[in-house]
Amino acid sequence: MRAVVYDEPRRFEVREVPTPGAGAGEVVVDVQLAGVCGTDLHLHGGGFFASFPLTPGHESVGTVREVGEGVGHVSVGQRVVVDNASACGRCAPCSRGEALFCEHFHSLGVNAPGGFAEALVSPAHKVYAADDLPLDVAVVAEPLACAVHGMDVLGLRPGADVLVVGSGTTGLLLTQLLVHGGAGRVTVAAPTEFKLELARAYGADRVVRVTRDAAETASTLVALQPQGFDVAIDVTGAASVVETLPSLTSTNGTVFVYGMCDEDDRIALRPYDVFRRQLTVKGSFAQVNCMDRSLAMLRSGRVITEGLITHRFALADYGAALEALAHDPTSLKVVVEPQH
């Protein structure tokens, strides 16, 4: 079969690799659609605990090709969503109920072969039936699961006044969970008009067009709401934006780092400001064991996906998919179709 293979950071090719088989407790999935996200850009550069050689792709939906011994909840030919993240269940963090920090964290597309391939093999318990969901909806299940985990970490107080800076796919999904999760008002600030229009269509109470200059954006938002927001969230992954969040947060408010910054980024933070204003700083990393709730939200229709997918690429054009995600201002959700 064909797969994207990195032998080292920034060096990949689409080449023939052995088609996986299903061992006991495993499922082989023919990948029909795989989402590209900002994490894949970090993996391209060797970040985010990537393990090489690597076939990336952690947002995968497809059709069951083969099931291993002991697998009974899905069958050959069935459409499924693959949850890329597995914990061992035996290490010290797992024994404390902290599966996300598992010492043997297994992540398809990060430290194990993922979905930018014609087929992948997954632990069976991480494969979920999705016959009732269109491909374009099901492919959003993994990033939505990350947003579900984000809501768990945030612990939103009902009625909170929330600011979301950024309107990429994860930002728009998180915005919808905030709208349905008890926020009193959700404001989305971003520079791209069509993404703001989607935010409004998805239920944001207020949208604000800002520039890509973090200081100028902060000035605009402070002028808009001098008393600050109960919760200020960054989904851009830009350290310069994160640095402004305390200035946008009200007394006793929460700064929430949801976008993934580069590992070497540093910001200035005034400890006295955190102390005197009793600010809370939280972060949200990936997800584990949130897929069932993600699928429930998609099935309910409360989370809308229409309009998210803007670009489609064949497997052979994976490089162009990365380029579109990184540099094309008209892109939002970029997907790869491995069977093409």
CATH label of the domain that carries residue 276: 3.40.50.720
162: buried, middle or exposed (CB in 10 Å: 19+, 13-18, 0-12)? buried
Whether 216 maps to a domain, the answer reads: yes
Same domain, residue pair 43 and 164 = no
Same domain, residue pair 136 and 168 = no
Same domain, residue pair 152 and 128 = no
Which phi and psi angles does 277 have, rounded to 5°?
-95, 0
Same domain, residue pair 181 and 278 = yes
Same domain, residue pair 221 and 194 = yes
Q: Residue 299 corresponds to which tokens in the numbers above? A: 């099935």
Which H helix or E strand runs over 280?
strand 280-283
Measured CA to CA, the distance from residue 196 to residue 166 in angstroms comes to 9
Query: Which of 78, 106, 4, 43 lies closest to 325, judged by CA?
Result: 43
Pair 281, 304: CB distance under 8 Å:
no
Q: What is the pLDDT of residue 171?
A: 97
Same domain, residue pair 218 and 177 = yes
User: CA 7, 13, 14, 18: dihedral to nearest 10 degrees?
Assistant: -20
Query: Which of 78, 79, 77, 97 lies closest to 87, judged by CA?
Result: 97
Q: 3-class SS at 136? A: helix
Measured CA to CA, the distance from residue 60 to residue 207 in angstroms comes to 31
Pair 259, 170: CB distance under 8 Å:
yes
Whether 249 maps to a domain, the answer reads: yes
Whether 187 maps to a domain, the answer reads: yes
Pair 187, 207: CB distance under 8 Å:
yes
Residue 260 sits at the vertex; the CA angle it makes with 256 and 262, to the nearest 5 degrees, is 125
Q: What is the pLDDT of residue 47?
A: 84
Q: What is the pLDDT of residue 48?
A: 84
Number of domains in the chain: 2
Q: What is the pLDDT of residue 160?
A: 98
Same domain, residue pair 185 and 133 = no
Q: What is the pLDDT of residue 338?
A: 98
- Kindly give the confidence (pLDDT) of every residue in the chain, 340 residues in length, as a single tens digit, with 9 standing for 90 and above: 999 999 999 999 999 999 999 999 999 999 999 999 999 999 999 888 899 999 999 999 999 999 999 999 999 999 999 999 999 999 999 999 999 999 999 999 999 999 999 999 999 999 999 999 999 999 999 999 999 999 999 999 999 999 999 999 999 999 999 999 999 999 999 999 999 999 999 999 999 999 999 999 999 999 999 999 999 999 999 999 999 999 999 999 999 999 999 889 999 999 999 999 999 999 999 999 999 999 999 999 999 999 999 999 999 999 999 999 999 999 999 999 999 8
Q: What is the pLDDT of residue 310?
A: 98
Alpha carbon of 76 to those of 63, 71, 138, 309: distances in Å? 7, 11, 18, 28
**What secondary structure does DSSP assign to 212-239, as a single string?**
S-HHHHHHHHHHH-TT-EEEEEE-S--H
Q: What is the pLDDT of residue 57?
A: 98
Pair 209, 196: CB distance under 8 Å:
yes
Same domain, residue pair 127 and 192 = no
Measured CA to CA, the distance from residue 289 to residue 88 in angstroms comes to 12
Measured CA to CA, the distance from residue 31 to residue 43 in angstroms comes to 20
The domain of 103 spans: 2-140+305-337
